[in-house]
Amino acid sequence: MTEKTTSLRGLADLLGVSDTAVRKALKVGVFSDGSIRRDDSGNPSVVNVTLAVTEWRRSGRQVRTDELPPVPSAARLDDERQASDDLHAQLAALLTQVRTLRQGMAATSSEPGDEDPAGAGPRDGADGSLTLVQAQTETQIQRGRMLRMEADLQEGALVKADQAARAAFEFSRTLREAILNVPPRIAAELAAESNAARVHVRLETALREALASVASILDASGAPPHASPATE
């Protein structure tokens, strides 16, 4: 929660003293930069009322005890410190997950645009670990790659690797059976033909018919001949 700011007069009213007393205390160094600092115009402004009151108390000066903002207790400070430690632990876990994801993707070929968008050189920190910004960038890159792959799958530009393997096997088997079925069908016809030119034409026709039959079977099966396999 952000500490509200006030003027020296507002702080004086809160303490129950005069504005002059607050200014004298500021002049002799009672207040730190964390509680009162000057703005761009050079005018002092109270940026942390709680800290200013605490520093006034420590100086031994007169203070009005009613309506003062409470000073954080030791238990509250411990809670805030624990919350900060928990946040750092969560960030460390996130960085570990991203680093593991990077290692898992290391075997895949890099795509254009995967380089550091800022052109800042090495992606890791000085100790070899990812910074928070780099981890977020890495996560966005991986999410973008997955979204592109899902879109390509839905549009038919990609097929799953196992589906592509099955389709290739079925195509090979269908083509093999169609070609091997040609000799039994026209063997007797070719044996009775003595004209080499006619044999050539008949054989070519039979092979074309076999290939056309294979194409018809593939069209009927709905196989995506132009889709690229997607690595899972």
| Strand-pair partners of 224 | none
Classify residue 115 as left (phi > 0), alpha (psi -120 to 50) or beta. beta
Per-residue model confidence (pLDDT) at position 67: 41
Number of helices followed by number of strands (H, E) in the chain: 8, 4
Per-residue model confidence (pLDDT) at position 82: 78
3-class DSSP assignment, residue 73: coil
The reported pTM is 0.30
- Per the CB < 8 A criterion, the answer to whether 232 and 161 are in contact is yes
Per-residue model confidence (pLDDT) at position 60: 78
Instruction: Give the chain's residues under pLDDT 50.
Output: 1, 64-69, 109, 113-122, 225
Please tell me what DSSP assigns to residue 116.
Answer: -
Per-residue model confidence (pLDDT) at position 65: 44
3-class DSSP assignment, residue 37: strand
pLDDT digits (tens, 9 = 90+) for 148-165: 888 877 777 766 677 778
Per-residue model confidence (pLDDT) at position 118: 47
The domain spans of the chain are: 8-58, 75-109+124-154, 158-230
In our burial notation (b when 16+ CB lie closer than 10 A, e otherwise), range 179-216 reads eeeeeeebeeeeeeeeeeeeeeeebeebeeebeeebee
Per-residue model confidence (pLDDT) at position 35: 87
pLDDT digits (tens, 9 = 90+) for 115-137: 444 444 445 555 556 687 888 88
- Per the CB < 8 A criterion, the answer to whether 46 and 5 are in contact is yes
